[in-house]
Structures are given as structure tokens and as C-alpha cells.
Structure 1
Amino acid sequence: MRKVRTFGPVRTSKLLARKRPHLVPIYDEHIRTQFGAPHSGDQWSAWAGMFADPTLVQHLAALRRSAGVDGSVSLLRVLDVVVWMEGKHGSSVPESARTAHAEL
């Protein structure tokens, strides 16, 4: 799909995330900055590392419940929104999250 000129990494990730919300995160400038991932393929290890942390997974489920959102919204999407919001407002994901893949 990326060979289509109008489909760059952001548009491609949004389309894939819409079709597979439990599998594919959205990649944009905020996610790129948060993870220090210059290319969309560079983010996968960080996402996987975060979901290996059962405490974070429980926290995401609690956030989803407190937001009044049902289980049809994936925990991946909840984390995607949190990371995006943090990036939009100038915060950054801790270095430990960015390098979580090193521990896998």
C-alpha cells in the first residue's frame, strides 16, 4: 500500500489501525517523537515492550473503564491515544519505555 504515492506512513497506519485496532497503532509525528522512532517500523519494539508490563496493561484497562469506553476499544488504542496526547502537549515517553525492547 505504501507504494501508492498518496499513502505515506501516517495515512497507511491510520487505515491499518482502523481495520485492525487490536493489532496496529497509529504512527504520526507525535508517536515518532515520543518513541524516537524515525521510521514507522522502528516503533514496534517499544509497543511490544510496554505490553509486556502487566501493571501497565492493568492501568490501561482502568483508564478505559474510567473513560466510560467499552472493550471494543483496544488497549493498544488507549495507549496510542495516551502517547499521542503526551506528545502533542510536549511531554515524552520515559527512556525506559522507549528502550523496553532491549529487555525482551
Structure 2
Amino acid sequence: MPGIGRTKATKLIARKRPRLYPIWGSVVSQVLGAARAHLNPVREALRADDGALHHRLLSIRGEAGLPAEISALRVFDVIAWVDGKARGLGEPSERGR
């Protein structure tokens, strides 16, 4: 659809399936080192080491005082985006916003 890029499309999907679908964006993509495919790297990271990352994200959610409705995946999306932006990652048009 005109005007709907990959980031907007994945935000819409993630809104419908917040526990299943990560948001793709240039910043998170660069943090993950996954230029095109991000579903498997995120899924694998959340499952590795008996779900250590997943449990850590749930712990962070609790420490932040967020409700249980906020999935570990959404916590991951936000942390990855904030970290990436702090490191100056993203499309040139997104830098400085």
C-alpha cells in the first residue's frame, strides 16, 4: 500500500499480535545485525539459554512498573530502539529527529 513501509506495517501487525511479532525498523535491524530478516533472530534470542533473555525482559518490565499486558517482545523493541538511537543507528533521514 502506498505510504505503508515495512516499519509501519510491522507496527500494525505487532499491535494486533503484541506477543508474537517484533517491530522491524532500521534502528532495531542494525542493533540485531539483521538487514532483512528479523523474525528468526529475535525468536532465537528469546529462546536461547532456556529463555534467559525472555526472563530478563520480564524482570525489566517489572522493575519499570509496566503492566503484564506489555509483552517481553515489546520491552525488547523499546530497549533495542533506544540503544540503537543512542548509538546513532538508523536511516540518515531518521538521525537527529
Rounded to whole Å, the distance in 1 between the matches of 2:64 and 2:83 is 17
| TM-align CA RMSD | 1.6
Aligned to 1:8: 5
User: Given residue 90 of structure 1, which amino acid in structure 2 is its aligned partner?
Assistant: R
Aligned to 2:19: 22
Which of residues 43, 62, 67 in structure 2 aligns to 1:48? 43
TM-score norm. by structure 1 comes to 0.76
Secondary structure at the aligned position of 2:38 is classed as helix
- Structure 1 position 27, deviation (Å): 0.9
User: Given residue 71 of structure 2, which amino acid in structure 1 is its aligned partner?
Assistant: S
- What stretches of structure 1 move > 6 A for 4+ residues in a row? none
5+ residue gaps, structure 2: 90-97
User: Given residue 14 of structure 1, which amino acid in structure 2 is its aligned partner?
Assistant: K
5+ residue gaps, structure 1: 93-104
Rounded to whole Å, the distance in 2 between the matches of 1:32 and 1:14 is 14
User: CA 1:88 to 1:16, structure 2 compared with 1: closer, same or farther past 3 Å?
Assistant: same
Identity of matched residues, %: 31
User: Given residue 44 of structure 1, which amino acid in structure 2 is its aligned partner?
Assistant: L
TM-score norm. by structure 2 comes to 0.81
